[in-house]
Amino acid sequence: MNTKHPIIAPLLALTALLALAPLAGFTLHGDVFWDLATGRWEWTHHAVLRWNPFSWGDHAPWVNNEWGWGLILYTASRFGPWGLLSVAGLGIVGWWTGLRAVMRRLALPSTAQLGILILSLPFVWPGWSDRPQIWAYAFAVWGWVVLWDWADPRHVWTWRDGIALLGWILWVQIHGSWILIPVWAVILSTRPGVARRRLWGAAIGALGLAAVDNPWGWAYVQKALFTSSSSTIASAIVEWLPPSFHQVFGVWLPWMILLSILTWGMATRPLSIRVEGWRWMMLAGLVGAALYAVRFEPYLPLALALGWPAPSIRFPAIKPPRWVAPALWGIVGMGILLIGIRIAPLRTASLTAPPFVAANVELNPSAEPVAAVVWLQHHPAQARRVFNNYRIGGYLTWMGIPDWIDGRTGFWIQTSHRFTAYATVIDDHTSPRPVIAAAHPTAILAPTTSPWIWGITGWQGWHVAWHQQGWTILVSSTGG
């Protein structure tokens, strides 16, 4: 990449700043709170969480493929909000630098690299949170880089490969996306002139290491495969739903076409990409995954890098005036200052109250019921068994409120039918009475906008006990 041009460096800095910009409005949500609660439990008990100690009536054992992330996140939380911001920022920086490393190995010119970095922002911004995916995206692109280097028969082993191995071991403990490594190793082995045996060894070694380097053995590998093939999860969880037609054809394509035209127009030399089988296999897999579920959209930048369309003719290079580079550096500096001003007050913020917690349910459907939890804490008799929306289960867990279901264990426990019942009854807006009757809760907490909650009022003595800020608590005069 030609970084000697005076405009390249500030543009790269600007893309990095834009990637980090969401940290200025960073908040926590239910799943993150569940990871925090997991880490707190593991920190306190000096053990790996193998069962569900939080939700009442559902203490089955399960394969917790995020056990390591909970420990990392809780450790960071001991440094306050800035500790959690640092965890997210580290993941973003890892993703940004990793994607650049991918593009350098594919010999993309500077304009194409800038175009892809800018194109990628709308796809990755929604994934920036303190969930393990934020590190998984970084591990994924760097894992691709490591495999690319290993595929070179001239590759000389150095200390960097040792760091890569340690990173791989950590990746296995925090997220099931490590399953990409054996898949990518096999695909890259189809390239001509590569060290195939080394890549096949990496694929087999990745599976073998994952099977022994965890507390559950081979079941850990099966869990990674189950995650992407569960029909229940794919049909009930928002992030596992496919993108809409409008999103694909009204947002994706116009955005790509616009940035392609701009970067092609700045090209200083003719570009060409050969049609290679391994490229098409990876492209098909990455694009297919993004069309399968929106949670895979952050992997689209890697697909863009692999299949960047290039013109076959030379375009005149755009030479901006001399004042453009200093102006861009000024924008970068101003952006850093604004982000700093925005996050500075968080040093004294609480992890369990606004502004660090998303609490405006009207603007954020996944907001946390901060005031409702305060009410439950002051009424312990009603808070013994709370029937809840699964999206807020993690927050209830972190705050010490026994929840009926959460966004993690409630559906990861494959031996339990709890999430299936929840998905078919609650999310389909049919009557939840059979589920509630079987659960015997002492309170019901749900968004006021939930259509089903008002069908419970008056049934078996259930009535509204608290109603504020978009949340409603029902209790039963018969004791639940």
Q: Does pLDDT of 392 surpass 80?
A: yes
The pLDDT, as a whole number, for residue 294 is 77
In terms of phi and psi (left: phi > 0; alpha: psi -120 to 50; beta: otherwise), the region of 456 is: alpha
- The tens digit of pLDDT for each residue in 102-131 reads 988 888 877 778 878 888 888 787 777 888
Give the pLDDT score at 422: 67
What is the spatial distance between Cα 128 and Cα 32, in angstroms, rounded to a whole number? 12
Largest CA distance in the chain: 79
Over pLDDT 70: what percentage of the chain? Answer: 76
Residue 348 has pLDDT above 50, yes or no: yes
How buried is residue 97: exposed, middle or buried, by Cβ count under 10 Å (0-12/13-18/19+)? Answer: middle
> How far is it, in rounded angstroms, from Cα 291 to Cα 339?
33
Confidence of residue 44 (pLDDT cuts 50, 70, 90): very high
Is residue 229 very low, low, confident or very high in pLDDT (cuts 50, 70, 90)? Answer: low
Question: How far apart are the C-alpha atoms of 286 and 187, rounded to whole Å?
Answer: 12
Written as one string, the DSSP assignment of 21-66 is: GGGGG--B-HHHHHHHHHHHHHHHHTS---B--SSTT---B---TT
Distances in whole angstroms, Cα of residue 378 to Cα of each of 34, 116, 372, 382: 22, 52, 10, 9
Please check the confidence at residue 428 and state whether its pLDDT lies above 70: no
Reported as a pLDDT band with limits 50, 70 and 90, residue 62 is: confident
Residue 417 confidence (pLDDT): 61
Phi-psi region of 88 (alpha: psi -120 to 50; beta: other; left: phi over 0): alpha
pLDDT confidence of 150, banded at 50, 70, 90?
Answer: very high
User: Span 46-73, mean pLDDT?
Assistant: 81
pLDDT at residue 375, as a whole number: 93
- 372, 470 contact by CB (below 8 A): no
Mean pLDDT for 79-91 is: 86
C-alpha–C-alpha distance, residues 456 and 463, integer Å: 8
Q: How confident is the model at residue 311 (pLDDT cuts 50, 70, 90)?
A: very low
> Considering the chain, what is the average pLDDT of its residues?
78
Which residues, at least 6 apart from 318, have a Cβ–Cβ distance to it below 8 Å?
Answer: 265, 266
What does DSSP say about strands 462-468 and 471-476: parallel, antiparallel, or unpaired?
Answer: antiparallel
pLDDT in the model for residue 142: 94
Which has more pLDDT, 400 or 406? 400
* Per-residue model confidence (pLDDT) at position 314: 42
Taking the C-alpha atoms of residue 415 and residue 291, their distance in angstroms, rounded to an integer, is 29
Average pLDDT value for residue range 367-387 = 89
Top mean pLDDT of 76-90, 109-123, 291-305 is at 76-90
pLDDT at 144 over 90: yes
Does 390 score more than 50 pLDDT? Answer: yes
Is pLDDT at 403 greater than 60 in this prediction? Answer: yes
Res. 135 pLDDT band, cuts 50 70 90? very high
User: Which amino acid is residue 176, in one-letter code?
Assistant: G
Residue with more model confidence, 256 or 146: 146
Tell me what pLDDT residue 69 has.
93
Query: Which residue in 123, 99, 115, 109 sits closest to 259, CA to CA?
Result: 115
What pLDDT sits at residue 97?
Answer: 92
CB-based contact 339:24 (threshold 8 Å): yes
In this structure, of 195-199, 211-215, 445-449, the range with the lowest mean pLDDT score is: 211-215
State the Rg of the chain over Cα.
24
The mean pLDDT of 144-151, rounded to a whole number, is 93
Percentage of the chain beyond pLDDT 90 is 13
